[in-house]
Structures are given as structure tokens and as C-alpha cells.
A = this chain, B = another copy of it.
Amino acid sequence: MNSKSVEAAQASAMLSQLPAPVLENLMANSVQRSFSSGETIFLQGEPAYAIFLIVEGWVKLYRISTSGAEAVVAILKRNRSFGEAVALRDQPYPVSAEAISDCTLIQIDGKRIRRQIIENPELGLNLLAATQVHLHALIEQVEQLKARSGVQRLAEFLVDLAEGQPNHNRLPLPYNKTLIAGHLGIQPESLSRAFAKLRDHGVRIEGNHATIDDLELLRDLANQDKGQPWVR
């Protein structure tokens, strides 16, 4: 287990703040795996045997509905874990996971974690914290989908991106636009048009880099009221 893995563990909601011996035990018994871009990590409906922690790269969680349509449920980066809540129960994964860049993951056996929780309940609390992060992200996504337009969601996406970076010049888009569209719940064509609309608001796109003139302006756009009548 290399230093990058330890770093990821310490930065994750799931494993941070664990007593060192517990963490070491877990890490010693977990597997590090590499996936190349496009590879499937697990499929919706498969028995959930493991919890994953992203050491490097990007992962997409998605769902294929009965009709065959794909919905991107989450896009995760370094230091995020997934599958926590499911792998502890005898249940199938509710989503599929796919590497969207070359990436390395730590794979921890669910049964082992289960045993560890019994011995060290703090770990259970940590896992609850980690799932809470997921929960929160999904709640925000539902809010965005219900109360904001596609352009606004894109603006929000760019603001989030920029906040991770110091300079807003030539901000690299983390993955291709088809995927961004899926993440935002719109079609690629609509994304293209949404970018065009943002050009009037100081956003320029060149290839897979974005330049943001005025971050405040963009933030305002994302939060503009649509005047909901159901607010009493």
C-alpha cells in the first residue's frame, strides 16, 4: 500500500479520524486496483461485496432505468468513497460504476468492514458520515433538477469547478462534454447551447478549457430566482 493510498484514506470522510492501528489493519487487508478509462467497476444489480475509495482518477455512478435510459447519478473524484452503505448489507448495488479516466481504487471487503465495525464502532460512525456526504450531494442534485434551468445548472457546475482552482483562466474541464451533459441531466446539444448562452456572461470555451471572466456574475446567474408560486 503506497503513500498515495494512505493520503486518500486520510482525506476521505470514511476513513479519516480512525485510530492508526485500525486504519492500518483495514488497509493491509484491502486491495488496490487499477481501471482504465471506460472500464466497468461494477454493475447495477450485482451483489455488493466491496466498498471503494478513489485514490486517483474519476468515477461515474449511473443507472439504467427499465426503459434503457441512462441517468448519471454522481461523478466522483479523488478521496471519495462509494458503495459504503450497500456493501454492509446483503443487497445488490443500486447503481453501476464506471471509470471515466484511468484510475486507481482501494477496494475493501464489505464483510471485513462489518467485522471491524463490531470491534470498533467509531468506524461505523465514520461510514455514516461518508454516506451522509452522498446523501447531501443527492439532495442538492434533486433540488437543482427541480428548481433550476439547464443553463443555471451549468453555471453552478462551472462555479464549483472554479472554486477548486485558484485562477479562472483556462480552467480545465475534468471530462468530456457528453458526460457533463449527462451529469447535468440534459442532452449534449443542449449543453452546447447552454455554453453559447454563457458566452454573453463572460464564459469562454476553447476545447476542454473554460475561461471565466467574472465568477460572481456566474454565481448570481446560477442562483437567480425563477419566482416559484409554491412558496407561500
Contact = CB atoms under 8 A, between A and B. Distances in A.
Interface of A: 63-73, 84-86, 88-89, 91, 94-95, 114, 117-122, 124-125, 127-129, 131-132, 134-136, 138-143, 145-148, 178, 181-182, 185, 187-188, 223-226, 228-231
A63 to B, nearest CB: 5
A144 to B, nearest CB: 8
A151 to B, nearest CB: 13
Contacts of A145: 142, 145-146, 185
B132 A89 contact: yes
Contacts of A132: 85-86, 89, 91, 131
What is the interface of chain A mostly: helix, strand, loop, or mixed? helix
B142 A67 contact: no
A11 to B, nearest CB: 17
28 contacts: A63-B139, A63-B142, A65-B143, A65-B147, A67-B147, A67-B224, A69-B146, A69-B147, A69-B226, A69-B231, A70-B147, A70-B228, A71-B142, A85-B132, A89-B128, A94-B135, A94-B139, A114-B125, A117-B121, A117-B125, A118-B122, A119-B121, A124-B124, A128-B131, A135-B138, A145-B185, A146-B185, A188-B230
A66 to B, nearest CB: 4
Given A66-B223, A67-B226, A94 B136 contact: yes
B70 A231 contact: yes
A85 B230 contact: no
A170 B173 CA distance: 52
A128 B70 contact: no
Contacts of A140: 94
Contact of A67 (B88, B95, B129, B225): B225
Given A86-B132, A88-B128, A146-B185, 15 more contacts: A63-B142, A67-B225, A69-B225, A70-B228, A71-B143, A72-B146, A73-B143, A85-B128, A85-B129, A88-B129, A94-B135, A117-B125, A120-B121, A131-B135, A138-B139
A94 B141 CA distance: 12
Contacts of A129: 85, 88-89
Contacts of A114: 125
